[in-house]
């Protein structure tokens, strides 16, 4: 996926690209996959073959991510370089994912006022996590445990935002249907 992302307008890391799509979905973007591809897929100046190949590969990856949200119990699987990777590298992947997620929420114009108090607190917490100092992260059991807890928090936080936005969309749709034009059943 890397070469395709490198040829895109944003040049995101794989983790950041994953976060962008999750943010678009959680934020309520109606055409999340297409919006995501516009952000991350190779641009025409990358060459026709790379554009076609990249869009196809990224679309397949994006569809797999979207499927995570379509089950009865939606679940976000956060990407990781693997448990054997150094702690700093795994923390950087999480950092990139959160940055992508927050960027996408901005793309869909989601503001704190669109969320519950808990949702607003989640946004503030996610923003605070992006201010972590990853340079001095020591490989300790305590830091391993802390990273595991932050990963779980981020996963649950994203699902909470997804749920809140889904409920808000359903209420808006139901309200539009119930206040729609009345018909006279002659």
pLDDT, tens digit (0-9, with 9 covering 90-100), for 2-48: 889 999 999 999 999 999 999 999 999 999 999 999 999 999 998 99
The structure's pTM equals: 0.89
Question: What's the rounded mean pLDDT across residues 55-82?
Answer: 89
**What is the CB neighbour count within 10 angstroms for residue 116?**
14
Question: What's the rounded mean pLDDT across residues 159-168?
Answer: 88
* Mean pLDDT, rounded, of the chain: 89
Question: What's the rounded mean pLDDT across residues 107-132?
Answer: 93
Q: Encode 65-86 in three state secondary structure.
A: HHHHHHCCCCCCCCCCCCCCCC
pLDDT above 50 (res 51): yes
Give pLDDT tens digits for 149-162: 999 999 999 999 99
CA angle 59, 160, 21 (to 5 degrees): 15
pLDDT above 70 (res 58): yes
Which 8-state DSSP code applies to residue 130? T
pLDDT above 90 (res 119): yes
Question: What's the rounded mean pLDDT across residues 93-119?
Answer: 95
pLDDT above 90 (res 70): no
Q: What is the largest CA-CA distance in the chain?
A: 76
The pLDDT, as a whole number, for residue 1 is 78
Closest CA to 104 of 64, 161, 60: 161
Structure tokens, 74: 């939606």
Q: State whether residue 49 is helix, strand or coil.
A: helix
The pLDDT, as a whole number, for residue 186 is 47
Q: State whether residue 122 is helix, strand or coil.
A: helix
pLDDT above 90 (res 172): no
Closest CA to 36 of 70, 1, 71: 1
The pLDDT, as a whole number, for residue 179 is 61
Q: Which of 45-49, 129-133, 159-163, 172-176 is predicted with the least confidence, judged by mean pLDDT?
A: 172-176
């Amino acid at each position: 996926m890397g070469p395709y992302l490198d040829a895109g307008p944003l040049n995101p890391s794989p983790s950041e690209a994953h976060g962008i799509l999750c943010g678009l979905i959680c934020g309520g973007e109606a055409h999340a996959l297409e919006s995501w591809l516009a952000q991350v897929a190779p641009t025409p100046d990358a060459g026709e073959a790379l554009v076609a190949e990249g869009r196809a590969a990224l679309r397949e990856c994006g569809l797999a991510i979207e499927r995570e949200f379509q089950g009865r119990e939606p679940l976000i699987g956060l990407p990781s370089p693997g448990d054997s990777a150094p702690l700093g590298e795994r923390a950087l992947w999480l950092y990139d994912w959160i940055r992508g997620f927050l960027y996408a929420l901005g793309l869909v114009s989601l503001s704190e006022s669109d969320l519950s108090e808990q949702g607003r607190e989640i946004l503030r917490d996610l923003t605070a996590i992006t201010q972590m100092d990853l340079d001095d992260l020591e490989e300790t059991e305590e830091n391993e445990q802390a990273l595991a807890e932050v990963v779980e928090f981020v996963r649950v936080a994203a699902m909470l935002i997804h749920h809140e936005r889904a409920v808000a969309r359903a209420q808006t749709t139901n309200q539009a249907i119930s206040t729609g034009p009345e018909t006279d059943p002659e």
